[in-house]
Structure 1
Amino acid sequence: MGQTTLSSLFTFLLIFSIFHNSRCQKQCGVSDDRRGGPSRVRAGFWFSQYSLHSPAPTIDTSLYTHLYYYSLSLDGANSGIAVPPDQVAVLCNFSGTVKSSNPALKTLLSVAADGRQTSFSAMAADAALRAAFIASTLELARENRFDGLDLAWEFPSSPADMANLGLLLEEWRARIGEEAAPSTLLLTITAYFSNHLFDGPTTDGPDYPTDAISRSLDWVNILCFGFHRNGNATANDAALFDRTSHFSASYGVTSWLDAGIPPCKLVMGVPLYGRSWFLKNKSKNEPGDPVVAEGPRQKMSNQSGVIAFLEIEGFLKDPGTKSVYDGRTATSYFQSGDLWVSYDSPQVVEGKVRFARRSGLLGYFLWPISFDDSNRTVSKRASGVWLGERESQGGGREEERFPEGGAPPLAAAGGGGAVSASAQRLSVTGCRVVLVCGLLCFLSGWLWV
């Protein structure tokens, strides 16, 4: 009797584990091509505001599988999408222009809103306004030959906003599914680096609606940078690892995985800009040392404290400027006089892309591609590493390694709320774990019998 019961139990576990694994694969698009999702994503955000400096025809489209047109905003009067007059022609020609050199390229139209835009919060809270917004985005995407849509809401600031975001995404996906168009539009969001919003380790912010996200989206672009926009000390603004706080890309990726988003629906952001400060004392020039102000306003960004990679290269040409690589956080920084800059060097970008690959993520995105230099140095490095094209001096492909003193993929970020490395690895392979457990149970029952 006991043997029969155990055999039945083990058989149930085996069947359940296979079903669960199939469900996970389906969630990752392995057996479900309904949305036409890609197997891998090498994306770039093209900012329309920089179209004079970096016109669409000059983009090296061979480096990307997906390009985002960033961005349009909400018309608060009718919850439609506002297209500025100077963007009409650029928007209309964008997809055709970039696809002329890479027909396989997918283009997505990104609609952006910051946390201060109350009209967006109001739209998400009203069913009729959500419907108007969705209809407007679909019409605009189809008219201008885009392959998908993206929502860059930075950031829903309350539990109500997050709940309404979930409703919006589900209704958006449903409306896309009802279209009679020959191809299904992709649907993504560009989100906070963590699934939980916080400004510091003790801030109790809202969580993203991960169930709705997992059901409705093709993937999530996570903004793994901009960690230290303000402050009175130098800091690594886009650290891959940080064992002393939440503010790292590895922590952010882990938080999304632990919230239930599969790795095949995560695309990790890599910045093509640096964060700058003026040092209080030029002799104190390491991360955490005091500053007196943000760095100067730069031509490309038109923002204080934000410097494009192509502008960073100008500083690095000075023989007196030395770039330092910090293996503990996988970041780079340099000092030029009393100016201190944290940035993603090509070496840092290579490490981040390897991290994304080894963690099983869907891909990476560069933000914004207009900030790369004329040789596309960073973009080429990222694409080459992702495709496995960078070879070691010995003639084979480079071994995927991380800096001494750094951390392995999904290692604990440290600080309050950081989870163990074993728990983080479990998040990445969760779909397989249940299958393995079921098989072990079945074998144990067979041996017992």
Structure 2
Amino acid sequence: MPARPRTLLAAFAAAGALITTTLFTGAANASPATATVTGTGSTADDTTDDTAAGRKVVGYFTNWGVYGRNYHVKNIETSGSAAKLTHINYAFGNVTGGKCAIGDAYADYDKAYDAAGSVDGKADTWDDGALRGNFNQLRKLKKLHPGLKVVWSFGGWTWSGGFGEAARNPAAFAESCYGLVKDPRWADVFDGIDIDWEYPNACGLTCDTSGREAFTKLMAALRSKFGTRNLVTAAITADGSDGGKIDATDYAGAARYVDWYNPMTYDFFGAWDAKGPTAPHSPLTSYAGIPKPGFTTDAAITKLRSLGVPSSKLLLGIGFYGRGWTGVNQSAPGGTATGPAKGTYEDGIDDYKVLKTKCPANGTIAGTAYAKCGSDWWSYDTPSTIAGKMAYKNRQGLGGTFFWELSGDTADGELIKSIS
């Protein structure tokens, strides 16, 4: 699928982000040894049942959000979102040189928070070896919510080009990832790893030719290294079209090694097609006139299930943002446009918290909402349409819900509260 806001380095730069790619490959021996396994996923290491179908609520938190967006770990608490979440996916770590690597050292573990900005009201210290940044704030958040788990996500749209090299030596890649995730400075922060490879044996920002089995071998190596007491998950394509990106990879074969998949059931359509036709970026079902068959949530879920991926290992994806065009003359989907609508950080996209006021939804189609304001046309999910998607999730017996991403919600967590 086309580029999403979550991984554009240009957005980082605009926000004044400090991007580093410091590699960490040591400290793998700091945690208990892991056994080679070929089972069906994590057994979980506390009283939280990670395998219970339907209950998972997974929200992405972006390390670059602490810059221009001014969204911090403390906001997860003050919005009420922390109490609703079962898991946080921390995005993103880099994939380079065949290894997992730090994405932004400053935001991740060096940025100092004062008392007012800290989750627990206590300022960070500059003591030798003291952990700071998002990692320390996540540690504090977990102390307030003992059942909450944090998974470190690697790759994304911009950094998925590194997976091809990683797939040439899956064991070495897994070793590097384990060493980084379980680094003794923050080993207690993370409960596992999430892989966001866009897309195995298919084209995203770059085209990958690693082969149909590469993803399975990579996930098997990660499960072997991380063992059954850590979570291993993956964000995957939701292209349910015939011969599309799901068909390019053996997602069913790899499913035995993951706790769950996050099919990215959003960004199906957007203003990268500058002239339209306008279409909702996250349709639940098909509708007459949809620009491309198979680009719906239901098509993706149905296809993955038909291939043998268990329903309980599939989470329903929600976007906490909208996509829009300008130069549009008709309210209903299918109109022509002249380009992307103006957005706060990037044209063609904006947060729900902005759109609900800037361009309130005035129509629904295929289980999601759209809005026409002047010559601008936007599509996004609302509490009402999310409720409908939750009903679908329950009918399908899916393992839960995930969303991109926390900073797009209102200050009081309007969207996450609609996820049941």
Matched, 1:56 2:100: no
> Which residue pairs with 1:15 in the alignment?
none
1:95·1:146 contact (CA, 8 Å) conserved in 2?
A: no
> Which residue pairs with 2:375 in the alignment?
338
Map 1:187-198 onto structure 2 (within 5 A).
187-194=232-239
2:369·2:380 contact (CA, 8 Å) conserved in 1?
A: yes
Question: Structure 1 pair 110/234, CA: closer, same or farther in 2 (3 Å)?
Answer: same
> Which residue pairs with 2:333 in the alignment?
287
> Which residue pairs with 1:423 in the alignment?
none
Question: Structure 1 pair 93/273, CA: closer, same or farther in 2 (3 Å)?
Answer: same
| Offset, 1:37 | 2.8
Mark the runs of 5 or more structure 1 residues left unpaired by the alignment. 1-25, 178-182, 387-449
Q: Which moved more, 1:130-139 or 1:236-245?
A: 130-139
1:75·1:82 contact (CA, 8 Å) conserved in 2?
A: no
| Offset, 1:378 | 0.8
The structure 2 residue matched to 1:186, chosen from 209, 216, 231, is 231
Q: Within 2, Cα distance between the matches of 1:264 and 1:354?
A: 15
| Offset, 1:143 | 2.6
1:111·1:151 contact (CA, 8 Å) conserved in 2?
A: yes
The structure 1 residue matched to 2:363, chosen from 324, 338, 347, is 324
| Offset, 1:208 | 2.7
> Which residue pairs with 1:260 in the alignment?
308
| Offset, 1:97 | 2.4
Q: What secondary structure does 1:335 align onto?
A: strand
2:63·2:104 contact (CA, 8 Å) conserved in 1?
A: no
| Offset, 1:96 | 1.4
1:276·1:341 contact (CA, 8 Å) conserved in 2?
A: yes
Q: What secondary structure does 1:154 align onto?
A: coil
Specify the code of the residue in structure 2 equivalent to 1:106: K
Matched, 1:237 2:281: yes
2:152·2:181 contact (CA, 8 Å) conserved in 1?
A: no
Mark the runs of 5 or more structure 2 residues left unpaired by the alignment. 1-38, 110-131, 203-207
Question: Structure 1 pair 113/331, CA: closer, same or farther in 2 (3 Å)?
Answer: closer
Specify the code of the residue in structure 2 equivalent to 1:37: D
Specify the code of the residue in structure 1 equivalent to 2:87: H
Q: Within 2, Cα distance between the matches of 1:128 and 1:365?
A: 28
Matched, 1:371 2:408: yes
Number of aligned pairs? Answer: 335
> Which residue pairs with 1:436 in the alignment?
none
What's the C-alpha RMSD, in Å, of the aligned pairs?
A: 2.6
CA offsets per residue over residues 33-53 of structure 1, 9 Å max, x none?
689634120111111211252
Q: Which moved more, 1:343-352 or 1:94-103?
A: 94-103
Matched, 1:250 2:298: yes
Question: Structure 1 pair 204/171, CA: closer, same or farther in 2 (3 Å)?
Answer: closer
Q: Within 1, Cα distance between the matches of 2:409 and 2:174?
A: 38
Q: What secondary structure does 1:171 align onto?
A: helix
> Which residue pairs with 1:106 in the alignment?
149
Question: Structure 1 pair 101/246, CA: closer, same or farther in 2 (3 Å)?
Answer: same
CA offsets per residue over residues 379-434 of structure 1, 9 Å max, x none?
1111xxx2xxxxxxxxxxxxxxxxxxxxxxxxxxxxxxxxxxxxxxxxxxxxxxxx
Q: Within 1, Cα distance between the matches of 2:178 and 2:44?
A: 24
| Offset, 1:236 | 1.0
CA offsets per residue over residues 251-303 of structure 1, 9 Å max, x none?
111111011010111111100000110134x3x221011011011132xxx22
1:81·1:136 contact (CA, 8 Å) conserved in 2?
A: no
Q: Within 2, Cα distance between the matches of 1:96 and 1:33?
A: 19
Q: What secondary structure does 1:167 align onto?
A: helix
Q: Within 2, Cα distance between the matches of 1:352 and 1:93?
A: 34
> Which residue pairs with 1:160 in the alignment?
210
Between Structure 1 and Structure 2, which shows a larger proportion of helix residues? 1
> Which residue pairs with 2:118 in the alignment?
none
Map 1:104-253 onto structure 2 (within 5 A).
104-114=147-157, 117-127=160-170, 129-140=172-183, 143=187, 145-156=189-200, 157=202, 158=208, 160-177=210-227, 184-194=229-239, 206-229=247-270, 230-231=272-273, 232-243=276-287, 245-253=293-301
TM-score (norm 2): 0.73
Question: Structure 1 pair 224/127, CA: closer, same or farther in 2 (3 Å)?
Answer: closer
Q: What secondary structure does 2:165 align onto?
A: helix
Q: What secondary structure does 1:276 align onto?
A: strand
